[in-house]
Amino acid sequence: MSERLEICSNTTLFQIDGICCLDCAAKFEKSVASLPGVIKSTLNPMTGKLTVVGNADVQSIRRLGQEENYWVQPIEKPAATSKTVLSVDGICCLDCASTFERQVASLPGITSASLNTMTGKMTLEGTIDIEAIRQLGRAENYQIRVVSEPALSGADSRGHLQGGPRIESSTGDTSQKKTIPWERIRMAASGAALVMAYIAETLNMPFPLFVSLYLTATILGGWGNFRKAAFALPRGKFNSSVLMSVAVLGAIAIDKWEEAASVAFLFSVSEMLEFWTMDRARRSIRQLMDIAPKKARIRRGIDEVEIPVEEIRIGDVMILRPGEKIAMDGLILTGESAVNQAAITGESVPLEKGPGDSVFAGTLNTYGYLEVSVTTRVEDTTIAKIIHMVEEAQGKRAPSQAFIERFAAVYTPIVMVLAASIALLPPLVLGFDWGPWIYRGLALLVISCPCALVVSTPVAVVSAISTAAKKGVLIKGGLHLEEAGSLAAIAFDKTGTLTKGVPAVTDIIAFGKTTQLELLKIAASLEDRSEHPLAKAIVAAAKQQGLAIHPVEQFRALPGRGAQGTIKSQTVFIGNVRLYTELGISTEPVTESVNRLQGNGKTAMLVGTETSFLGVIAVADQLRETSASSIHALKEAGLGKTIMLTGDNELTAKAMAAQVGVDDYRADLLPQDKVKAMEELLSKYGKVAMVGDGINDAPALALSTVGIAMGGAGTDTAMETADIVLMADDLSKLPFTIRLSRDAMKIIRQNIAFALGLKALALLAVFPGWLTLWLAIFADMGASILVTLNSLRLLKTRS
């Protein structure tokens, strides 16, 4: 593990200029990842920043860049001390949040700005002017506070990096308590003033009375948007607040007081409903944060004291009684129990655990009394890392989201020009009345608000990632979610993925008067001195049967063949067919058994003396219980091809492929051969995922369209190297992950089609005058809410 951390610390940053095609950029990223010495590469096509982990050959990367007409330049990586994390409270409009992020990124001294709209955390690199950022935040009614500031060293006094994993169950809550009540009060007052104005006008009360009430409703309902527009216009920014403000002021200018007030009030209602639906997605993260207890019972001398988890030190002994949640990661010292790990791995069946076994924070001790030695600090627990990675993943833009944000940036100015043309050209050129055409232009401004379009992707991505995390699957960003939803094939590493990775005795065939237990006892006696994995499997089987081994004299290891020794004054051999051939002993009596076992993918171990065979013991890497059913479920989900990659011989690979049910297999592969096999599969099928343990198959994982590591709970390497991590040590969550990804892509397409289709229909309805301001604001508000609610359906996806 220390070697892995040392390698990961060698990180190089590059600036890539000339990116105009996301698909080409993704291929370039994969090409860099496949270079010798490169462990992982990550390209942000929006900023042009390429991060390469490992030993990067600059010239090789430049040559790859030249193929895509990219300009590649190494840049100095910002020190960890230059990173600042801010909390941005009050986000309810993703379009406004995206504009705010771009404005902060353009401030002098800031080299990078990334805003996670779900958690409200903004990560900045460079020289930070907090007052300038707060001024920009006030334009959007945001409250800005510093979460972590640069330190003099990369680690704080407790020894962890600034901005690392933190568990904050109150993320975003503060802003809601401070900001939202005032918004609700203004919205309610605006609605009340609107109703009173309507009644006053209906009862033919004096004109100044109901106009003043309409004006009051307009100011109260549109106050937030007027402020945002006032900040945006001087900077040449045209956002949804500018659209609404122009529409309201235009309606007032043509004496449409009632409709101006209605638009202002209904838009404030729309923002409140959007905030509520967005908060549904945010709560999914806060539920993750509340999994682990905030206090734990610790032994201090002879006393047991309950203290906050932040005060617990590595090596402290944690006391757990039946039914209690585990607060920290650790190793069991004494006691046995079944631990429910559903919160981490998604496994519904509790696992039996005893001394020496690992336990994770957030899991449940069901029935036993346990004493656990704490092995990590609270910020380094597995659940803390999961939360941190989920937050990071939600902040990473999916390709569709990045495209929509770029589209929205030019969409609003185009709409304003189109609305102005509709309002001005017919009266000026054709001599039509001004009032109706100005009204139509204002209606177009209202319906053309890009909120529904901007929110169409990120809420779906966040909902899918949160749902996956709760089921024990870590998806590290919208890009990988989208790619997983469009896979044509999946390749599986055999050992440790489709199989358990630990050889076990499968068959014991005894000859003559020798019993199966006696045969196993003799074999274990010889193999007890060997370090070979197959030997350990035989010894483990004997211990499981409670057999005591025989004393062995004159033991001799025979590399590549087996072993021999003297038991009860008789020389006994254990090994393969080659051993007995060299001894001049005919293997004809066991040929049928050996061929049958090898045909089933098992290794046959022959046990005999100088004159006869005692029997045959078969050892094999056993198939995981969930492998065959998972492959079948993938096929039912419509996945095109499944392929097994293995270093086993052709006969063993063929037998294993038949057992597990994969469509194809590649045998006799060395680690470097798996990379070549992946290149061939990518060329043949297009998008191909690789499933492995994330360690010895890391190059193939990096080269694949989506790298999926299995058994990530407690394994830093798997969590670092893969794009998707199955926290449990089996494949049962893979079909769910593919189905969830496809559902997310389907919902994103539905959202985009609905949002754009509604805009197109509205545009057609403008010219004949069918689109009123009332209808426009209801349609815009309904579109945003329906798109968000449609995305939130992913929170209900079942595994």
Question: Which pLDDT value is given to residue 616?
Answer: 94
Residues of the chain with CATH 2.70.150.10: 295-380
Specify the CATH superfamily of domain 500-623. Answer: Calcium-transporting ATPase, cytoplasmic domain N (3.40.1110.10)
* Mean pLDDT, residues 463-483 taken together: 85
Alpha helices in 426-548 (DSSP H): 434-447, 451-455, 458-470, 478-484, 516-527, 533-544
Tracing tokens 């070979």 back to the chain, one arrives at 532
Please report the pLDDT score of residue 665 as a whole number: 93
Report how far residue 402's alpha carbon sits from residue 326's, in angstroms, rounded to the nearest whole number. Answer: 40
Identify the pLDDT of residue 156.
Answer: 36
pLDDT of residue 177: 42
Question: Rounded distance, CA 320 to CA 515, Å?
Answer: 46
Q: How far apart are the C-alpha atoms of 480 and 690, rounded to whole Å?
A: 13
Look at residue 163 in the predicted model and tell me its pLDDT: 36
> What's the confidence (pLDDT) of residue 24?
65
Answer yes or no: 493 catalytic. Answer: yes
Residue 181: what residue type?
A: P
Q: Which residue has the higher pLDDT, 169 or 140?
A: 140
The pLDDT of residue 82 is 58
Cα–Cα distances in Å, from 168 out to 173, 229, 293, 364, 387?
10, 33, 12, 21, 10
- At residue 76, the pLDDT reads 60
Per-residue pLDDT at 3: 32
Inform me whether the pLDDT recorded for 95 exceeds 80. Answer: no
Q: Looking at the structure, give the CATH architecture of the domain made up of residues 2-75.
A: 2-Layer Sandwich (3.30)
- Residues 6 or more apart whose CB falls under 8 angstroms from that of 21 comprise none
Q: Tell me where in the chain the CATH 3.40.50.1000 domain(s) lie.
A: 480-494+625-732
Confidence of residue 286 (pLDDT cuts 50, 70, 90): low
Between 320 and 75, the more confident residue is: 320
> Is residue 165's pLDDT more than 60?
no
Output the pLDDT for position 22: 58
Best mean pLDDT range from 95-99, 404-408, 753-757, 776-780: 753-757
First to last CA, the chain: 32
Q: Which of 89, 95, 493, 528 is catalytic?
A: 493
Confidence category of residue 282, pLDDT binned at 50, 70, 90 = low
- The total of other beta-carbon atoms located within 10 Å of residue 755's CB is 23
- Token code pair at residue 661: 């049910």
How many whole angstroms separate alpha carbon 516 and alpha carbon 640?
A: 45
Q: Tell me, what's the pLDDT at 289?
A: 65
Contact between residue 191 and residue 263 where contact means Cβ atoms under 8 Å apart: no
Distance CA(532)–CA(541), nearest Å, equals 15
The helix (H) or strand (E) run that includes residue 726 is: strand 724-726
Distance CA 116, CA 96 (A): 13
The identity of residue 132, as a single letter, is A
DSSP H helical ranges for 584-670: 588-599, 627-636, 650-660
Q: Pinpoint the residues of the chain covered by CATH 3.30.70.100.
A: 2-75
Structure confidence by residue, pLDDT tens digits, 313-352: 999 999 999 989 999 999 999 999 989 887 777 666 788 8
Domain 295-380 has CATH 2.70.150.10: yes
Q: Give me 248's structure tokens.
A: 């309201």
pLDDT score of 700: 82
Q: What does the pLDDT read at residue 737?
A: 92
480-494+625-732 homologous superfamily = HAD superfamily/HAD-like (3.40.50.1000)
Q: Is the dihedral of CA 390, 392, 394, 397 positive or negative?
A: negative
Q: Of 216-220, 283-287, 306-310, 699-703, which gets the smallest average pLDDT?
A: 283-287
pLDDT, tens digit, for every residue of 596-646?
Answer: 888 887 888 999 998 889 999 999 888 888 899 999 999 988 888 999 998
Res 239: pLDDT: 65
Asked if residues 706 and 509 have their Cβ atoms less than 8 Å apart, the reply is no
What is the residue-averaged pLDDT of the chain?
80
User: pLDDT (tens digit, 9 = 90+) per residue, 493-523?
Assistant: 888 888 887 888 999 999 988 899 999 999 9
pLDDT in tens, 248-258: 887 787 777 88
Of 567, 506, 558, nearest to 530 by C-alpha is: 558
Nearest-10 Cα torsion for 546, 550, 554, 557: -20
* CA–CA dist 466, 171 (Å, integer): 15
Mean pLDDT computed over 723-729: 85
CB 447 within 8 A of CB 762: yes
Task: Quote the crossing angle between the two packed helices 382-395 and 458-470, to the nearest 10°.
Answer: 160
Q: Tell me what pLDDT residue 663 has.
A: 94
DSSP secondary structure string, 650-718? Answer: HHHHHHHHHHHT-SEEE-S--HHHHHHHHHHHHHHHSSEEEEE-SSTTHHHHHHSSEEEEE--TT-HHH
**Residue 674 Cα distances to 105, 485, 648, 700, 722, angstroms:** 42, 24, 12, 6, 16
Residues of the chain with CATH 3.40.1110.10: 500-623
